[in-house]
Structure formats: structure tokens, C-alpha cells
């Protein structure tokens, strides 16, 4: 890899007892830098339950899964979920058992603002998150708060949801309430989780809520709202909260790694193109020095729109003042990463769609452990981290999600152990050998939860939850001890580190 540093220096010059500067100790390649955040992640709709308790409003996911229960594989919904609304203290103890120093969770917007607007402020919702935050801090765990992890208040869907640019105003007011109520104790904020995923709620009728079926159109329209909403929240924090709260605000984007199928230039271009459609669509306006949607995305969507006989591009335009407003609005880059695949140039996806506009065909990389859509390829994350750092230099990266899924009933989760050892080692190689600046890792997920359309059939938890028992008891899987050891020592054991698949085969 580029920027090869065998060992990294931990601190600047340190003084000997005589006050004479001596060389600082070198940090081993398998060790995290000081102050690194290590923990686990969850999301409100996936774990809280209590869907209509204490004044909470309906979210688009409540609405969709109540109206069409068969959309999820097992007809599961979020009514009770893992009951974390009532069991949050126990969940904080699970984090303690993991030796986590950080917990990433999301606020449910309709729990705080049942109508989505500030005409009704639900104090019980604010109290709940205050309790969670205080419990975390009392146990030495830093809260990282996601403002939006897909559970839009249903009342705002009545206005059209995210493709309606007015939603940026509503999001700004919601964020203001969050900063006012929690910002004295929360230092790490994420505006949105995976816009590239939840925009599927506007491109398909069945994949994600709200199930608005306008592929290749509404999913681009909402990108403009999301970027403006994110930028305005960042600027609000800058102007009104940062000086006293001193926190950091970022956004979490999802990215797989796309390994070119062959050594051809065409396949290298296909890989870059897909990364620009998946990550760059959201990242380029915020993190690049020139701002705006990536050129390749603008050109291809405009060309396809023209071919389709449309009067304008399906991708909205950002005005010079909007480009300026959005550019530079992040203190760090949040990245969710789960898998890698091969990529080549070609045609796939319905017309119109983002995938079709990207003009690529993906396939599984053979020879690696797989579960569902996840392929255990640690070097893919290492390459992606290098790509993010090279493409958007100057921003520290926080891996806000990464994890493995098993079918129900697996407590001896050897697949997850293999996956976590590999991926955490890949992060360490990226930091210590490639020079990628990184500040944290939160594994997905703390507990088994509602995996969206897969219901409760796909288990991402480090701790298992018994969904047949109304008490929802939690049990550690074997991976807890492995990750707890890594988190305690701030290092991957040397043997595991050496054995991890962190370098691509040549």
C-alpha cells in the first residue's frame, strides 16, 4: 500500500526525567492510536420498540410494516423489537462487558417530535434519551448520536418525504432541539445514516419505507434535500453550539469496495464510477475541494435523461450558492462498510435507476467466507479507506458500522469472529501502515435487532436476543470475548493480526 510506514510514532517528543527530549516509543502496527473510539452501534427503530408509548408518533417504518406486514420475511415489525426503550440500562451494561468506550445509537425523530414539527415536543422522548446518555456517561462510555437512521415521522411523509425540499427546514428544527437538549453531553454527532440506502425507499415499492416507487428520479431528488439539510445543521452547530459544546458533526455514508474484475482500464473506470455513484454522490458535495455532485454522475445522468427524451436531467442541479453552503460541512467522515465485490463495465439495473446510470455489473469475489450479501474480504475495507482518504483528504474517518450476520440460534459465532479479526486488522493496517487518519470503530451491532425487510431472520448482534421470550433476554455470543479483549488491549493479538487477510492477492 501507499504511504508505507512500518511503525507509527505515538506522541510528539516526550521528556526524560532530566527534562532532556528522548525519542518517543513507537506504536506497534497492531495497536490503535490513543483516544481511539471503540464500541458498537444500533438504531432506534431496530431496537427500541415502544412504538406508540409515552407520546411517540408514528414513523414511516411503523406505518409501512403495519399496513403491509408481509413485506418483512417473518412479518416482524418494530412494535417491541429488542425492547431497548425499557432495557437501556441493561444494554449499557452489555457495552461495559464489551469494554466499549463509545456507543453509536440514533434518536427517533417521532419520539421527540411526534408530528415531525415543533408544534408538539414530547418531553418523555427527550427524557428517555437523556437517561440513555446519562447512563452511558456514568459508565464511562461516550455517546455518538445519529439524528436520522431512517425513521421519518409519518406526518412528514404526508408532505412527500425527503424529495420535498422543505424537509430540510423541518430537519434543521429537529436538530436544534437535539443540540439544545443533549449537546452539553454529546460530542459526536451524525446527521444522516446511509442516505444511499434509505433513498431506496423512494426507488422501490418494497425494499425500504416509504415504498415510493420512483426509481432514478425521486432518489436523486432527495439527495438535494439531504445535502442541504445536512449542511444547514452543520452550519447551525457551527454558529450556535460549537463554541460551548465543542463537539464534532459528521455524516455516515455506506460504501462497499469494488475490485476491478480484470486489470483493464475499463474495469478500473467501472470501479471508480460505481464508487462515485454510491459514495461520491453524497461525499463530493461535502468533502471535495470543488464541491457539487461528481462530474461523472452529472454527465451520465444528464446523457441518459436526454436519451429518454426528458427536458432536464433526473439529477437536480445545485446552484453556486448551494454548492458553497454544502462544501466543507463535516468534521469527520463516517463510513459504514460490510463487503466487497468484483466489478466490470456493462449494463444492469432497471431503467431508469442509479445502477443503470452507473453502467456497471458486479459479481461475488469467489474464495472468501460469505453470509447473505456479506463477503468477508478485509483488504476491501483497507482499499476503501485508502480511496476515501485519497479522494477526500483532510478528514478523519470513523467506521461507524461493520459486521457479520448469522441465521438465528448461532451463539458460537465463529464466522463473526473471523470477520471482526480481519476487518479490525485491516483498519489497523490502514492507520499504521498506510497513514489513513482514523478516529473510531463501532461494530454493527450491539444486539440482535430488526434487520429491516429481513425482519428478525438475520442476526447481526454481538449479543443474542431471544425474541420468543417477552423479556427479550440478552446472551453474549462467543465474539463478545474476542472483541472485548481487543477493546481492552487497544490492539488485535499479534497472531490474529498477522493471519488476517488485509493484503489483496496480487
The interface with ligand NOJ within residues 383-412 (CB under 6 A) comprises 401
Q: What residue spans of 335-475 are helical by DSSP H?
A: 354-358, 378-391, 414-432
Q: Which of residues 193-222 bind ligand NOJ (CB under 6 A)?
A: 193-194
The whole-angstrom separation of Cα 502 and Cα 382 is 7
Q: What are phi and psi of 483, to 5 degrees?
A: -70, -35
Q: Which is nearer to ligand NOJ, 191 or 313 (CB)?
A: 191
Closer residue to ligand NOJ, CB minimum distance, 32 or 444: 444
In the complex with ligand NOJ, which residue's Cβ is closer, 253 or 439?
A: 253
Q: In whole angstroms, give the CA distance from residue 319 to residue 177.
A: 29
Distance, CA of 36 to CA of 17 (rounded, Å): 28
Our measurement of the distance from residue 374's CA atom to the centroid of its chain's CA atoms, rounded to an integer in Å, reads 16
* Minimum CB–partner distance for residue 152 and ligand NOJ (Å): 14
Element (H, E) at 493: none
Q: Which of 58, 135, 142, 194 is catalytic?
A: 194
8 Å CB contact between 230 and 367: no
Nearer CB in complex with ligand NOJ: 32/148: 148
Residue 22: all three cell numbers together: 528522548
Q: Where are the beta strands (DSSP E) in 318-449?
A: 332-336, 340-345, 360-363, 370-371, 374-375, 397-401, 438-444
Question: According to CB under 6 A, which residues from 158 to 197 bind ligand NOJ?
Answer: 193-194
Q: Does 42 bind ligand NOJ (CB under 6 A)?
A: no
In the bound complex, what is the minimum distance in angstroms from residue 156's beta carbon to ligand NOJ?
Answer: 20
Q: Which of 343, 365, 369, 366 is nearest to 355 (CA)?
A: 343
Is 194 one of the annotated active-site residues of the chain? yes
| Nearest approach, Cβ of residue 84 and ligand NOJ (Å) | 14
44 binds ligand NOJ (CB under 6 A): no
Contact flags string 447-466 toward ligand NOJ, x per CB under 6 A: ----x--------x------
x/- string (CB under 6 A) for ligand NOJ, residues 317-346? -------------------x----------
Contacts of residue 480, defined as CB under 8 A and 6 or more positions apart, other chains included, come to 97, 98, 462, 463
Interaction between residue 43 and ligand NOJ (CB under 6 A): yes
- Using CB under 6 A, count the residues that bind ligand NOJ: 9
> How long a stretch of residues is the chain?
506
Residues of this chain that interact with ligand NOJ (CB under 6 A) are 43, 46, 193-194, 336, 401, 444, 451, 460
Active site (catalytic) residues: 194, 401
Amino acid at each position: 500500500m501507499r504511504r508505507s510506514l512500518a511503525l507509527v510514532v505515538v506522541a510528539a517528543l516526550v521528556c526524560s526525567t532530566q527534562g532532556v527530549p528522548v525519542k518517543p516509543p513507537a506504536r506497534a502496527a497492531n495497536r490503535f492510536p490513543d483516544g481511539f473510539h471503540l464500541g458498537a452501534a444500533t438504531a432506534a427503530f431496530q431496537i427500541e420498540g415502544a412504538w406508540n408509548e409515552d407520546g411517540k408518533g408514528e414513523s414511516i417504518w411503523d406505518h409501512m410494516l403495519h399496513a403491509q406486514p408481509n413485506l418483512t420475511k417473518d412479518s416482524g415489525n418494530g412494535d417491541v423489537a429488542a425492547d431497548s426503550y425499557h432495557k437501556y440500562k441493561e444494554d449499557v451494561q452489555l457495552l461495559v462487558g464489551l469494554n466499549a468506550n463509545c456507543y453509536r445509537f440514533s434518536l427517533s425523530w417521532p419520539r421527540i417530535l411526534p408530528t415531525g414539527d415543533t408544534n408538539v415536543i414530547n418531553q418523555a422522548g427527550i427524557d428517555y434519551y437523556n437517561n440513555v446518555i446519562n447512563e452511558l456517561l456514568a459508565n464511562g462510555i461516550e455517546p455518538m448520536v445519529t439524528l436520522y437512521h431512517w425513521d421519518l415521522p409519518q406526518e412528514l411523509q404526508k408532505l412527500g418525504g425527503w424529495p420535498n425540499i422543505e424537509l430540510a427546514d423541518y430537519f434543521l428544527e429537529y436538530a436544534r432541539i437535539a443540540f439544545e437538549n443533549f449537546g452539553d453531553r454529546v460530542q459526536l454527532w451524525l446527521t444522516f445514516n446511509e442516505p444511499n440506502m434509505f433513498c431506496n425507499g423512494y426507488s422501490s415499492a418494497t425494499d425500504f419505507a416509504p415504498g415510493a416507487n420512483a426509481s432514478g428520479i425521486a432518489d436523486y431528488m432527495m439527495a438535494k434535500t439531504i445535502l442541504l439539510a445536512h449542511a444547514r445543521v452543520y452550519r447551525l452547530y457551527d454558529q450556535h453550539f460549537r463554541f460551548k459544546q465543542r463537539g464534532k458533526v459528521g455524516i455516515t455514508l455506506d460504501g462497499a469496495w469494488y475490485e476491478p474484475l480484470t486489470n483493464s482500464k475499463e474495469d478500473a473506470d467501472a470501479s471508480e464510477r460505481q464508487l462515485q455513484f454510491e459514495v461520491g454522490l453524497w461525499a463530493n458535495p461535502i468533502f471535495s475541494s470543488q464541491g457539487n455532485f461528481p462530474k461523472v454522475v452529472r454527465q451520465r445522468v444528464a446523457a441518459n435523461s436526454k436519451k429518454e427524451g426528458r427536458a432536464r436531467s433526473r439529477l437536480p442541479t445545485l446552484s453556486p450558492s448551494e454548492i458553497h453552503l454544502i462544501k466543507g460541512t463535516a468534521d469527520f467522515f463516517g463510513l459504514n462498510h460490510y463487503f466487497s465485490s468484483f466489478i466490470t463495465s456493462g449494463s444492469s439495473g432497471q431503467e431508469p435507476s442509479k445502477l443503470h446510470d452507473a453502467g456497471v455489473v458486479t459479481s461475488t469475489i469467489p474464495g472468501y467466507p460469505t453470509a447473505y450479501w456479506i463477503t468477508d474480504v478485509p483488504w476491501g475495507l483497507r482499499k476503501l479507506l485508502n480511496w476515501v482518504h485519497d479522494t477526500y483528504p483532510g478528514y478523519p474517518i470513523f467506521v461507524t458500522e461493520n459486521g457479520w450476520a448469522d441465521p438465528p440460534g448461532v451463539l458460537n459465532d465463529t464466522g463473526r469472529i473471523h470477520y471482526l479479526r480481519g476487518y479490525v486488522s485491516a483498519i489497523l493496517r490502514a492507520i499504521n501502515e498506510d497513514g489513513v487518519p482514523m478516529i473510531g470503530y463501532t461494530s454493527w451491532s450491539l444486539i440482535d435487532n430488526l434487520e429491516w425487510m429481513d425482519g428478525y431472520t438475520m442476526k447481526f448482534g454481538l449479543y443474542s436476543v431471544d425474541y420468543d421470550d417477552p423479556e427479550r433476554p440478552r446472551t453474549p455470543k462467543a465474539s463478545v470475548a474476542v472483541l472485548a479483549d481487543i477493546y481492552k488491549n487497544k490492539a488485535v493479538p499479534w497472531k490474529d493480526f498477522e493471519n488476517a487477510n488485509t493484503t489483496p492477492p496480487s
